[in-house]
Amino acid sequence: MDLGQKLKFLRNNQNANQHEIVEGICSVSYYSKIENGNVVPNEEILHLLAERFGVTVEELTQTNEVVNDQVIREAENIYNLIKEDQTAAKEAYQAFLKEFENSTDPGMKLIISLIELRFALGFSTLEEAEEKFQEAESLQDFNSLKIMPLYNRVCGLYYYATGNYDAALELYLGLANSLNYPYKADIHYELSLVYSRKDNMYKSIQHLEKALNAYLQEMNFKQCTVCYFLLGINYFKMKNYDEAIDYYYRIEKVIKDDKDLLRKVYNNIGLAFEKKQELEKAIHYYQQSLFIEGKHNVKTMYALAELYLRMENKEKTAYYIAKGEIEAKKFNLKEYIIKFHVLLLRLREEDVQEYLEKVAIPFFKEKNDTDALIKYHVILSDYYSKNKQYKQAYFKIKNALDMKGGV
């Protein structure tokens, strides 16, 4: 970090402009040349500037590299610990802060800001994460080739979490194309998540296969299982249900203690069999998901209620609607409170139009939930057709087709 960059960093920390800093020391134009690296100040001006900023001349002119390879390794280690062991990550971070929080090096401040952003993305609200992101952005001028991989990884995760997938791709691809980056398996996995969100399943699968091969070489079987799960999701989205089921079966054979993942696996196998119209198998796996104790199973209860409604089994439909509503209200899951109420109206053959138009569709439109919106526009189209309101029926089905990418 050169002298000019340090001076700029210290000035920004004080929220001061150049006029305020140089008063009684030198001219603004001369100081500006120092910050830009065009002039080396004499010893007297250096002493005056150091005094103005509250640091020693040694700290101001220090040329030893503060942000070295060891520091970067420690920061990357904290990043990885956040995913695996929150307590260990916090302990490692406290030790890191104890060593470096008083550093006047702007690059070190950027690293600390990036670690805090990573913690915020894991354990705080998006609003808090945004504040940390703005802090990191304000220090972007002090990025370097050493810090860049950590910067790209953390900010890529921020962009992914906030739905800015193109920005996330740009940062992640920079790391994937780097020759010596040691965490390429993780980057390929993170790229697969981004491409999946962008509905580019082929690209997602390509990166998943690269990640999977690397994890197998590292004997990181936990991450292999995570890759299998996402591969199952991707093949399901591509309507290749047999391939999806095969990947879910692989997970079922190897996981023992991760009940939450096993619950999701059984739910997703049920979904795949339902799409294959093998309804008894679908019901079997949905119920297997419900048998596993732990977190709520509202999603599976909704799938069963909807499936039994299609099968015109009113008793079972009512049973799972009642159970699902209790769970949805218990955990304040508004999305499913609305979904179960729509099912209840349909089960009772009551007028569903007003509730869909005034409650359900506005809610899912705000959430940008295309699948729910398509489903409810189709239901409305059927409603209007039965009531001989063909113009309204046409527009509702047209809306559904437009959201599917139809014409």
What residue spans define the domains of the chain? 3-61, 66-182, 351-407
For residue range 164-217, list pLDDT tens digits in order: 999 999 999 989 988 788 899 999 999 999 999 998 999 999 999 999 999 999
Mean pLDDT of 12-24: 84
Work out the number of other CB atoms within 10 angstroms of the CB of residue 299: 20
For residue range 75-124, list pLDDT tens digits in order: 999 999 998 888 999 999 999 999 888 877 788 889 999 999 999 999 88
State percent of the chain over pLDDT 90: 54
Fold held by 3-61: 434 Repressor (Amino-terminal Domain) (1.10.260)
Chosen CATH of 66-182 out of 2.60.120, 3.40.50, 1.10.3470, 1.25.40? 1.25.40
One-character DSSP codes across 354-377:
HHIIIIIHHHHHHTT-HHHHHHHH
Mean pLDDT taken over the chain: 88
Closest CA to 376 of 335, 315, 318, 406: 335
Measure the CA–CA gap between 83 and 183, rounded to whole angstroms: 14
Which stretch, 234-243, 249-258, 388-397, has highest mean pLDDT? 234-243
Measure the CA–CA gap between 31 and 140, rounded to whole angstroms: 22
State percent of the chain over pLDDT 70: 95
At 401, is the pLDDT very low, low, confident or very high (cuts 50, 70, 90)? Answer: low
Q: What is the pLDDT of residue 111?
A: 93
For residue range 342-356, list pLDDT tens digits in order: 999 999 999 898 999
- pLDDT > 50? residue 407: no
At 253, is the pLDDT very low, low, confident or very high (cuts 50, 70, 90)? Answer: confident
One-character DSSP codes across 110-158:
HHHHHHHHHHHHHHS-HHHHHHHHHHHHHTGGG--TTTHHHHHHHHHHH
13-17, 166-170, 377-381, 394-398: lowest mean pLDDT where?
394-398
**Domains 3-61 and 66-182 fall in the same CATH topology:** no
For residue range 19-40, list pLDDT tens digits in order: 888 888 888 888 888 888 788 8
Q: What is the pLDDT of residue 200?
A: 94
